[in-house]
Amino acid sequence: DAKTTQPNSMESNEEEPVHLPCNHSTISGTDYIHWYRQLPSQGPEYVIHGLTSNVNNRMASLAIAEDRKSSTLILHRATLRDAAVYYCIRGEAGGSYIPTFGRGTSLIVHP
């Protein structure tokens, strides 16, 4: 059970917006949605998380569908430094929590 589904890869041009989708159709009402990214040769880093409302921070925005079965990570202006693997995972509040990262989406940014 992958718990989240993401496209294997996406491409973008520098300075353009990027929308990275994630499906989490079995999400429960108290699960947060977390996004991480992993740059080459580094450990994953936190990007953003949310529960129900759309969220913004200095790195990105997170748009959560009204039924919470999907979400979209938005990079407003992609840079070459944003080339990374992006992971969407469910943060299950309470109980036994086994984080499942899946394969993530490899974002390629063209100059």
Partner 1 sequence: KAGVTQTPRYLIKTRGQQVTLSCSPISGHRSVSWYQQTPGQGLQFLFEYFSETQRNKGNFPGRFSGRQFSNSRSEMNVSTLELGDSALYLCASSLGGSGDTQYFGPGTRLTVL
Binding site residues, partner 1, CB under 8 A: 31-32, 34, 36, 38, 42-46, 49, 87, 90-104
| Least distance in angstroms from the C-beta of 8 to partner 1 | 12
| Closer residue to partner 1, CB minimum distance, 95 or 111 | 95
Contact 86, 36 (CB under 8 A): yes
Q: What are the tokens at 84?
A: 């990374």
| Closer residue to partner 1, CB minimum distance, 5 or 14 | 5
Q: What are the tokens at 24?
A: 């989490």
Three-state DSSP string of 30-51: CCEEEEEEECCCCCCEEEEEEC
| Least distance in angstroms from the C-beta of 84 to partner 1 | 13
Closest by CA position to 58, among listed 71, 72, 76: 76
| Closer residue to partner 1, CB minimum distance, 14 or 106 | 106
In the DSSP assignment, the letter for residue 5 is B
| Closer residue to partner 1, CB minimum distance, 80 or 96 | 96
| Least distance in angstroms from the C-beta of 61 to partner 1 | 17
